[in-house]
Structures are given as C-alpha cells and as structure tokens.
Amino acid sequence: MVDEKRAIDFLDRFVDGQPKRFFRDLDDSGKGLYAILRMLTLADDETVAGDIAVALGMSTPRVASALRTLESRGHIARMPSDRDARRTVVRITMGGREALRAKQAELAKLVDYLMESVGEADMYEFLRVSQKIGAALNKIVEKSDGKE
C-alpha cells in the first residue's frame, strides 16, 4: 500500500507532467465539438441531441451548447425528423465534414510527431498502461456507484 505522502507526490508529478494546453485545445477547448462531428459521421440520419449526450457521456446542456456552436459555424444542421416532425434531428453538413477532416489531418501530424519524438514502442506502451489505469479507475467508479 502506498502511503499518503507518496500518493500525493505521485499525483503532483503526474499533473505537472501533463501538457495541459495541448489537451485543453485538442478538442476545441474541451467542448467535444469534434467528437460530436465524428459521431454524426457514423450515426444514422435520425440522431437527436439526446442520442449524442448518451453516446458521448456528455450532459444535455453541454451538448446543447456544443450544437449551438457547431450550427453557428455551419458544421451541423438541425431539422425536423422525416419520421416524426416533433423530433429535431442533427445532421453533419459538408462544412462539418471538411472541418472534421482538417482536424483529423492535424491530429495525424501530431501523432506522427510524437511517434518520431518519443518512439512508437513507447507510445504504445503508454497507451497500454493508460488503458490499464483507466480500467482500474472505472472499477472504482462502479464500486462507488453501487454497480459492483
């Protein structure tokens, strides 16, 4: 068992080692805009805001805000459902597809740079360990939610 002092030291070093600006800016200031666009490219034509919130684990107010931003940029369009006029569906536009392609190209360059700088083996080792940590943290969350 790790004592409290070592645990705090570890967390401090972990937080200090994170490229905060990079992660903050990665997805348009953390708003999830590109995650929504990506989801819409994979979704059917009857996707509503609630579907996005559930699929991406976002709150409905956060999704509503992100959709307003995407709509103002011309990346999505909202319209009545073909099946049920009471429902408003969200569809990605050609402008949204172009913005998503541009972001994906930017991220591909970034990953290429990281692979060259850090090394492909270390990058995959980082990914393996990160996934292991994520699984352990999910177990803690499930226990606290009473699911286990």
For the stretch 29-74, pLDDT in tens is 556 899 999 999 998 888 999 999 999 888 999 999 999 999 999 9
Is pLDDT at 130 greater than 90 in this prediction?
Answer: no
* Dihedral sign of CA atoms 18, 22, 25, 31 in order: negative
Provide the residue type at 107 as one letter: L
Pick from 33, 52, 39: nearest CA to 103: 33
The whole model's pTM is what?
0.72
4-144, what's its fold? Arc Repressor Mutant, subunit A (1.10.10)
pLDDT one-digit tens code per residue, 77-116: 999 998 998 999 999 999 999 999 998 888 888 888 888 9
Strand partners, 78: 90
The Cβ of residue 98 has, within 10 Å, a number of other Cβ atoms equal to 12
Average pLDDT on 109-133 reads: 89
Task: Write down the pLDDT at residue 116.
Answer: 92
Separation between Cα atoms, residue 115 and residue 16, nearest integer Å: 22
Is pLDDT at 24 greater than 60 in this prediction?
Answer: no
Q: Are 36 and 63 in contact (CB under 8 A)?
A: yes
Q: Distance of CA 132 to CAs 41, 58, 89, Å?
A: 29, 23, 37
Q: Which of 1-10, 70-79, 135-144 has the highest mean pLDDT?
A: 70-79
User: What residue ranges do the domains of the chain occupy?
Assistant: 4-144
Task: Write down the pLDDT at residue 90.
Answer: 96
Residue 7's φ and ψ, nearest 5 degrees, are: -65, -45
146: left (phi over 0), alpha (psi -120 to 50) or beta: left
Is pLDDT at 2 greater than 90 in this prediction?
Answer: no
Task: Write down the pLDDT at residue 142.
Answer: 87
